[in-house]
Structure 1
Amino acid sequence: MIKRALFSVHDKTGLTPLATELQSQGWSIDSSGGTAEHLQQAGINVITVEEVTGFPAILGGRVKTLHPMIHGGILGQLDKQSDLDDLLRHGIKPYGLVGVNLYPFEKTIRQPGVTEEDAIENIDIGGVALIRAAAKNYRHVAVVTNIDQYSRIISDLQQHGEITLALRKQLASEAYQYTAWYDTAIMNWMAQQEGVEVPLFPEKLILPYQLVQKLRYGENPHQQGALYRVPGFSIPSVVNATQVWGKVPSATTIGDLNAGVETVREMLNLRNFPHWNLAAVVIKHNTPCGLAVGDSPVETYVKAREADPLSAFGGVIALNFPIDAATAHEICAIKVDGVIAPGFADDQALGVIQAAREKAKTPIFIIPELVPLPTGSMNLKYVVGGLILQQADLEPVKLNDWNVVTEKQVPDGQWKDILFGWLAIMHVRSNSVIVVKDGQTLGIGSGQTSRIGSAKIALQQAGEGAKGAILISDGFCPFNDVVTEAAKCGIATVVQPGGSVNDKASIDAANEHGLAMVFTGRRAFWH
């Protein structure tokens, strides 16, 4: 192996021990600019890039290593005679190792008030070229792009006296991942600049994700799992939550925490209603089993739990308000598998949960105060070998656009419950029918293959509470069966999208039984 290294790094952390090990094993070291100064100050013998190329850095340092004397030494194939002849003819010495890390583009664009010029100057050109060249020629050159790789290089050198082909190949793969990530960050930043038009559904979709943590297991204990996040994503959400206590969550718990956060985030649309500024939900298998709004933290949570206390056992709790000690005591009244909320309202709350759940180590997460998702947000649904990209369902609900289609009108006092129920059903798995009253779900029928099946489940759960309540369906009712069943249970108002060729059957049934019915003109499927 050629014992000649080239270093050009922005982050110089940990570089000296690697260079020292190389030098102790007889390697020569070339380096550029600030990297050369850093190594020289550490007592490492360095040949500067300018000495190698015979050409100074130009354009304010934009061009330093882009030179045949450098790239020829990296790309030369030492088992190919014509390459050896070229290197000899031009006096180019080959390299055995190239160490590069790039300008901090992502860090730069996250800084408040960063200018376009600052961002552009932190787009690395020469470094990326060095990395790609060295990775391409991994049979002869080791490419080092991450501080965490230094110890692996040192270990290989000490054990084998060289950097093995197996490690060189692994490092090359990691190098291309590094440059792909870097280019994607630049691509996404460019797409956000003024005057740049990006289609809603681009021909090529590149989605970067960064590891947050490995999970206890995936959906089932025999599956492995990990949580990733979009770089730079700062909206309060489960991927940005901080775990303050408890065991490492499973993928199922993370999925339920996410469903909970997004459900109570939806309730921000009720902030203009007096006494409905707080929301609590219990999630089980990615769908709500109890949801409530109110103005008292502990009462709001208890309403959500008692909406379906049987299903709440072993569920996940999401709140859009800080946890106080009283609410913490109620949370500990049953087994829960996770809690997420915007922090704690007092010093006792976390301790209450820790004391009660010392053995179970229930994962507790905190997030900043929730805000609505930005307009233009998209969501993804993965299918085998691909994904579906669609607009997030963020279109504002406009009650004035909804139509009462029955002889009986909706009492004024029911409209806020209608809005609450519609916002709630947007987060219930289809086919879904729910029963709501006084800012609380009383029955939730979800995931059924027939609408009447979902309706019967919701009405059965609601029991006597269905009298005078509102029944909401996420899709149209193609027959009169749902309305008829609702009437038997004392439902006062039915809300559905409408749009069936058989709408008249439902309207006639509602009129016959003295129910009010509202057509929303929009569907709320969630799969």
Structure 2
Amino acid sequence: GTAHALQEAGIPVRDVSEYTQSPSMLGGRVKTLHPKIHGALLAIRENPEQMEEVRKHNLELIDMVVVNLYPFLEVTEKEGISLDTAVENIDIGGPSMLRSAAKNFSYVAAVSNPEQYPQVLKELKENNCFLSKDTCFDLAVRVFQEVSTYNSFIGQYLAKQRNQKFPDILNLSFKKRQELRYGENPHQKAAVYQEEKETGLSAAEQLSGKELSFNNLLDLDAALGLISEFEEPTAVVIKHNNPCGVGCAVDLANAFEKAYKGDPLSAFGSIIGLNRRIDRATAEE
């Protein structure tokens, strides 16, 4: 577990059961669900009555919680996983600690994703081991988003076990992939979001060029949908979500030439879609 990993790295560590004076129970199902943990996370430090309770129960206040949730989604995506195995990968203690820490964001930092580590470490180093109120608030927001997403995966998986085609509640979770240069018009803002493990346009890698706009994405989506209709080498020219030219040929270069000649004027500033890896001859066209 975490304690062992820290010990192996030579970092001083105290096991949870040593602090709570309560052993891990039920095969590890109950470890951190304890008043000495959650009291230490939830105590309002400017409240005299609560701080008196902290002293009375010998609580040691916790300033930061860092949790990696059980990999429920990764486990359940594997072939042949039993329901029992899936259930054992439903994290209870981790989300509970994160929620307690996030609720008390005025005093506690809740770090829920490894993506946050570099920025958190940077701020700690630059600010004498303190995080700003704004940072703690932003971390708390992320916690509730992460836990909500995590719970939605569990709900979707369990609903499938009952063959629920139309569940009573359908939760969809999207993660921001990138901010766009602008929205449908230059004065508007826009961003791209994608579902976890989603493939397709939102998961595509941009190799070069300036940031995409919302209209670029619309044209790319139209281009992708159109070239997917053809098996032979095909090129399409898309402008303002409309096909200005489509060309099919025995090779990609000729297909592109046909598509371009469909409307050379509109091809300026357009989106070009190809259903083959671009070759030198096509690039030189």
TM over 0.5: yes
Note the 1:359-438 alignment, pairs <5 A.
none
Structure with greater Cα Rg:
1
| 8 Å CA contact retained: 1:110, 1:232 | no
Instruction: Give distance in 1, aligned partners of 2:135 and 2:282.
Output: 54
Q: Is residue 263 from structure 1 mapped to residue 226 from structure 2 by the alignment?
A: yes
* Alignment equivalent of 2:154, drawn from 186, 193, 198: 186
RMSD (Å) for aligned C-alpha atoms: 2.8
Cα 1:280/1:175, change in 2 over 3 Å: same
Cα 1:67/1:222, change in 2 over 3 Å: same
**Cα deviations by residue, 1:177-208 (Å, 9 ceiling, x for unpaired):** 221222233333334x2423142xx6655322
Give the total of aligned pairs: 284
Q: Normalization by structure 1: what TM-score?
A: 0.49
Q: Is residue 206 from structure 1 mapped to residue 174 from structure 2 by the alignment?
A: no
Cα 1:329/1:44, change in 2 over 3 Å: closer
Instruction: Give distance in 2, aligned partners of 1:299 and 1:83.
Output: 77
Q: Which residue of 2 aligns with 1:385?
A: none
Instruction: Give distance in 2, aligned partners of 1:225 and 1:151.
Output: 24
SS of structure 2 residue aligned to 1:170: helix
Instruction: Give distance in 1, aligned partners of 2:193 and 2:80.
Output: 27
Q: Which residue of 2 aligns with 1:155?
A: 123
SS of structure 2 residue aligned to 1:132: helix
**Cα deviations by residue, 1:10-69 (Å, 9 ceiling, x for unpaired):** xxxxxxxxxxxxxxxxxxxxxxxx222222333333221111122221232222101122
Instruction: Give distance in 1, aligned partners of 2:106 and 2:209.
Output: 46
* Alignment equivalent of 1:119, drawn from 67, 80, 86: 86
Q: Which residue of 2 aligns with 1:248?
A: 211
Q: Normalization by structure 2: what TM-score?
A: 0.84
Instruction: Give distance in 2, aligned partners of 1:246 and 1:154.
Output: 30
Q: Which residue of 2 aligns with 1:41?
A: 8
Q: Tell me by how many angstroms 1:327 deviates.
A: 2.8
SS of structure 2 residue aligned to 1:65: coil
Cα 1:99/1:326, change in 2 over 3 Å: closer
Which structure 1 segments of 5+ residues have no match?
1-33, 272-276, 331-527
* Alignment equivalent of 1:284, drawn from 239, 243, 246: 239
Q: Which residue of 2 aligns with 1:54?
A: 21
Q: Which residue of 1 aligns with 2:265?
A: 310
Larger relative contact order, structure 1 or 2 (CA cutoff 8 Å, min sep 6): 2
Identity of aligned residues (%): 39
Instruction: Give distance in 2, aligned partners of 1:56 and 1:320.
Output: 60
- In terms of fraction of residues, the more strand-rich structure is 1
Amino acid in structure 2 at the alignment position of 1:325: R
Q: Which residue of 2 aligns with 1:144?
A: 111
- In terms of fraction of residues, the more helix-rich structure is 2
Moved over 6 A (4+): none
Q: Which residue of 2 aligns with 1:323?
A: 278
Which structure 2 segments of 5+ residues have no match?
none
